[in-house]
């Protein structure tokens, strides 16, 4: 160790540099969009003996397209990466692809315009080609969801990312490029774009993304054989960025740079199932028949009422969700989702809500046991249940801070009371502390009661006419 003490000026420089660095990092961490573009690289599987179970690798990518000039039903194809021996032939196939592409336009003042000064590229529309590349299977979509998903949608993980194929673009030497621009969002749900670069040898053509004074450069030509010295094994290279980021494609100086572009949307994750009955025929489920025939039986709740089912799965229901991205019903899964779908298909008035645990919590108050109405003759199997006004979030009451309160006083302050015929019992593991109340003791304390997610539907009262018909 050097025993010499640094002069004061050096010390203070060091301190300043440290403060600068720490400041920079914490500023980036505090900014919602400091991570405004992410990217990566996925190698191609080497074939037999490859340890692809451990690492994500890609199978060769087959690209097929419909040339405008070909007979109906005829398509052409090319496989990436090209085998070394086939590079000459590959160049020919690329030339054919290029010939079948159209000049790429861009949006200016609400119009599609062609201007090689601004953008020099060729494209195929998504309707004219397909490829075996699946960004979901490669983990790209999950990675984007983890890192770029707008934070407003994160609560409860109820939203997912949809990557929709948009274009195939080819930027070729000399001078293929796209000047700085911002992509036009295709809908309100679009939050970004994804670009995947197929492994063709090229130089130049870096994708440069800028946001808030920061720049990220994705240079995919650098690792290809046209840049000897640093040529890497062929890989799929990709980048994703937020829609409000300015970006550009620098000039391609050699070869062809071929990319697939995708629009990235934030979508309700499971609502893709919950919201669309057309992809699943609910009426084919045994549960559908069981519920529908029960409802047709005049002996079942002739006076009408509510029937409840405690969800079998645990959900983060005591956390609140943003109003524009509610957790329920979109987060429902498995049998809970199936049951909800069945009720929806039967057009029953249904609510997915938190229900307060029956009875009280710790031994603070008298339990006067009024909440459960087991006066079986009048209301067989009916329980007065406390149902929350909202599906998610924790509620609080100031009731309970004195020993003259009873559990019922506290419970009465939670949601609404409904008479419910329960189909099952709540599973302890699905409960969460969703209702906080004041408790008493030496010091002010807060007690909590458990809430459980439930699906409750309404059964209408039978009219005399219907009853007559049903029993005839
Ligand atoms: O091919 C790329 O790298 C991105 C092209 C682009 O910015 C676009 O298509 O809007
Ligand atoms: Fe763009």
Burial 25-46 (b: 16+ CB within 10 A, else e): eeeeeeeebeebbbbbebbbee
Cis, peptide link before residue 329, omega less than 30° from 0: yes
| Section 314-337 average pLDDT | 81
Pairing verdict, β 176-181 and 119-120 = antiparallel
- Report the nearest-CA residue for atom 9 of ligand 1: 261
What pLDDT score was predicted for residue 271?
46
> What are the structural domains of the chain?
34-267 (2.60.120), 271-471 (no CATH)
Q: Which residues are in the CB-under-5-Å shell of ion ligand 2?
A: 183
Q: How many CA atoms lie within 13 A of 200 on its CB side?
A: 32
- Among 58-72, 140-154, 382-396, 454-468, whose mean pLDDT is lowest? 140-154
pLDDT of residue 468: 82
Q: How far does the centroid of ligand 2 lie from the alpha carbon of residue 178, in Å? A: 8
For residues 86-102, give the mean pLDDT.
80
207 CB under 6 A from ligand 1? yes
What separation in Å is there between the alpha carbon of 373 and the centre of ligand 1? 66
Q: Identify which has the larger pLDDT, 75 or 52.
A: 75
Percentage of the chain surpassing pLDDT 90?
Answer: 32
195 lines ligand 1 (CB under 6 A): yes
The model's pLDDT over 340-383, given as tens digits with 9 standing for 90+, comes to 988 998 999 999 999 998 877 666 665 555 444 444 444 556 78
Q: Does the Cβ of 119 fall within 6 Å of ligand 1?
A: no
pLDDT of res. 2: 42
Q: Mind listing the pLDDT tens digit for each residue in 178-192?
A: 999 999 888 888 889
Task: Report how far ligand 1's centroid is from the alpha carbon of 126 (Å).
Answer: 14
> How far is residue 340 from each of residues 277, 326, 344, 382, measured CA to CA in Å?
11, 16, 6, 21
Prior bond of 81 cis (ω within 30°): yes
CA 222 to ligand 1 centroid distance, Å: 18
The per-residue pLDDT of the chain, averaged, comes to 81
pLDDT-based confidence at 174, cuts 50/70/90? very high
Q: Which of 3-7, 34-38, 86-90 has the lowest mean pLDDT?
A: 3-7
pLDDT bucket at 198, cuts 50 / 70 / 90: very high
| Average pLDDT estimate for 418-424 | 88
Beta-bridge mates of residue 445: 439
pLDDT of residue 119: 94
């Amino acid at each position: 160790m050097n025993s010499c003490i640094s002069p004061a000026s050096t010390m203070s420089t060091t301190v300043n540099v440290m403060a600068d660095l720490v400041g920079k990092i914490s500023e980036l961490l505090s900014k919602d969009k400091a991570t405004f573009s992410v990217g990566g690289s996925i190698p191609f599987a080497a074939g037999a003996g490859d340890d692809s179970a451990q690492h994500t690798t890609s199978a060769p990518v087959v690209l097929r397209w419909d040339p405008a000039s070909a007979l109906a039903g005829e398509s052409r194809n090319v496989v990436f990466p090209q085998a070394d021996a086939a590079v000459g032939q590959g160049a020919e196939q690329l030339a054919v692809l290029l010939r079948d592409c159209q000049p790429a336009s861009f949006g200016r003042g609400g119009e599609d315009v062609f201007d090689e000064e601004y953008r020099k590229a060729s494209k195929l529309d998504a309707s004219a080609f397909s490829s075996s590349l699946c960004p979901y299977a490669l983990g790209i979509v999950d990675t984007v969801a983890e890192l770029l998903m707008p934070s407003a949608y994160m609560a409860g993980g109820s939203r997912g990312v949809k990557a929709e194929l948009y274009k195939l673009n080819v930027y070729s030497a000399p001078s293929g490029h796209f000047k700085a621009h911002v992509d036009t969002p295709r809908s309100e749900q679009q939050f970004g774009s994804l670009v995947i670069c197929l492994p063709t040898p090229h130089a130049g053509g870096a994708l440069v993304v800028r946001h808030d004074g920061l720049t990220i450069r994705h240079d995919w030509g650098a690792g290809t054989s046209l840049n000897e010295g640093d040529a890497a094994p062929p890989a799929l290279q990709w980048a994703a960025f937020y829609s409000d980021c300015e970006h550009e494609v620098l000039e391609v100086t050699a070869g062809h740079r071929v990319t697939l572009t995708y629009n990235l949307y934030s979508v309700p994750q499971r609502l893709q199932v919950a919201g669309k009955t057309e992809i699943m025929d609910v009426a084919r489920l045994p549960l559908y028949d069981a519920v529908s025939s029960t409802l047709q039986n005049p002996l079942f709740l002739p006076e009408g009422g509510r029937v409840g089912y405690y969800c079998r799965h645990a959900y983060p229901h005591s956390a609140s969700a943003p109003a524009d991205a509610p957790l329920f019903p979109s987060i429902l899964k498995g049998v809970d989702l199936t049951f909800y779908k069945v009720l929806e298909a039967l057009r029953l008035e249904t609510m997915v809500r938190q229900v307060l645990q029956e009875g009280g919590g710790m031994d603070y108050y008298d339990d006067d046991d009024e909440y459960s109405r087991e006066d079986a003759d009048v209301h067989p199997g009916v329980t007065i249940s406390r149902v929350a006004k909202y599906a998610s979030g924790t509620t609080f009451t100031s009731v309970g801070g004195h020993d003259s309160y009873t559990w019922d006083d506290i419970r009465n302050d939670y949601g609404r009371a409904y008479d419910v015929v329960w189909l099952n019992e709540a599973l302890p593991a699905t409960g969460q502390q969703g209702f906080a109340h004041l408790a008493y003791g030496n010091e002010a304390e807060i007690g909590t009661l458990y809430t459980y997610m439930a699906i409750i539907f309404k059964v209408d009262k039978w009219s005399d006419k219907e009853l007559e018909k049903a029993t005839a």
